[in-house]
Amino acid sequence: MLAVAAGVRLPETLSGLRTAGPYAALATALALAWWFNRGRAFVLALSVLGAVAAWHVAHAKAVYTLVFVLVPLNVLLSMLWAERGARYRASYGWFFLLAGEAVMVYFVSKTDFDLSHWSVRSPPIPLVARIAFAAGAAAAIWRAWPEYKPLPLGVAAALVAFFIAGAWAGDPGAYAAFMVAAGLILVAALLQESHQLAFRDPLTGLPGRRALEERLRALGGHYAIAMVDVDHFKKFNDTHGHDIGDQVLKLVAGRLSQAAKGGVAYRYGGEEFSVLFPGASLDDAARELEEIRGAIEGYKMAVRSPDRPKKPDEGAKRRGEGKSEKMLSVTVSIGVAGPAQGATPQQVIKAADEALYRAKQSGRNRVSR
């Protein structure tokens, strides 16, 4: 599609693809953003699609300037507001705003609005649009940092592609190619984000159970699987609250993710985790798991008291006196198993579950085979 937009010679029957390419890519991004209920991607896709249509219909300097100011400003606003989706009541304000912008662009296109007395000459992209782009791009990067998830990065990259397209507005092929790129970047980011939501646990950042099931299909005959359960987690959660419970899960996930011997940790469900050791022996996996168990047991987690001072100096002073924080510790029970003759990965997981049960029955906070 990029080659088509850039002007590669096509049969006469397909010559319209260069014009239709940006619409197809951006409409696809718009549909995916709506389907996946991603408000920021929806706002950008609809804004860029509207800009392409406006510049296609009305080749006027004022229209050019207006759309290349409005699109990055829309991105800026969407980044300043919390993500609330594209299909619920909270998104209605965006529809009213974008409809108002469409009316504004239509009015400017019909009145041949003169911008010369504002010292705005376009194309190329005027200063006011460059400032708007810088603000929108900075806000998009701010939202992407520090997790660098696919969709925030995709929004930032698509905005850059849109800006470059504006700089090449005088060359129909290059302009169309970068508009197509903006749409395809959003499509790829939306698909990648949906993949991560399906295969990665959002709380701990570990791959989820579905990712483990996919990995088990490609295992060789030499591996070990461990099942890990947080001891007394429900009681811990009820006593200290769900926020502290989430911190415990993150702590355990962080320690498990550091497994050596090629170990890969997964969030299996609830307070249960799994660690896969492809290519490792049962003995090697058990030794590594014992080190992880000891590290989790020895870690002291500080829980802030509700009346902790906001000023760092006062908080540090009270910490030294033991008044601001309570130290908690958590333990895990682990069952590990390797493949017996002819055993399937599902049977090995069942054997690791049985070993985990034995660890629980033997007093918890231990590794059992």
Helix (H) / strand (E) containing 155: helix 150-167
Q: Would you tell me how many other CB atoms lie within 10 Å of the CB of residue 106? A: 14
Interatomic CA distance for residues 332 and 109, integer angstroms: 67
Tokens of 201: 């646990």
Q: Nearest-5° angle of CA 197, CA 202, CA 207?
A: 70
Mutual orientation of helices 61-80 and 39-57 as an angle, nearest 10°? Answer: 180
**Two tokens at 179?**
């508009």
Strands 223-230 and 264-269: unpaired
Q: Are 191 and 32 in contact (CB under 8 A)?
A: yes
Helix (H, G, I), strand (E, B) or coil at 273: strand
For residue 263, give both structure tokens. Answer: 């170990």
Among the options 101, 193, 271, 288, which is catalytic? Answer: 271
Is residue 272 part of the annotated active site? The answer reads no
Give the amino acid at 136: G
Q: In what order do the strands lie in the sheet with 367-368?
A: 264-269, 272-278, 223-230, 332-337, 367-368
Strands 223-230 and 301-304: unpaired
**Which of 253, 238, 233, 360 lies closest to 296, judged by CA?**
253
DSSP 24: H
First to last CA, the chain: 55
Task: Write phi, then psi, for 92 (nearest 5 degrees).
Answer: -60, -35
Instruction: Report yes or no: 73 and 129 within 8 Å, Cβ to Cβ.
Output: no
Closest by Cα among 308, 310, 302 to 326 = 302
Q: Identify the bridge partners of residue 64 per DSSP, sorted by sequence position.
A: none
In whole angstroms, give the CA distance from residue 63 to residue 110.
10
User: Which residues are known catalytic residues?
Assistant: 271
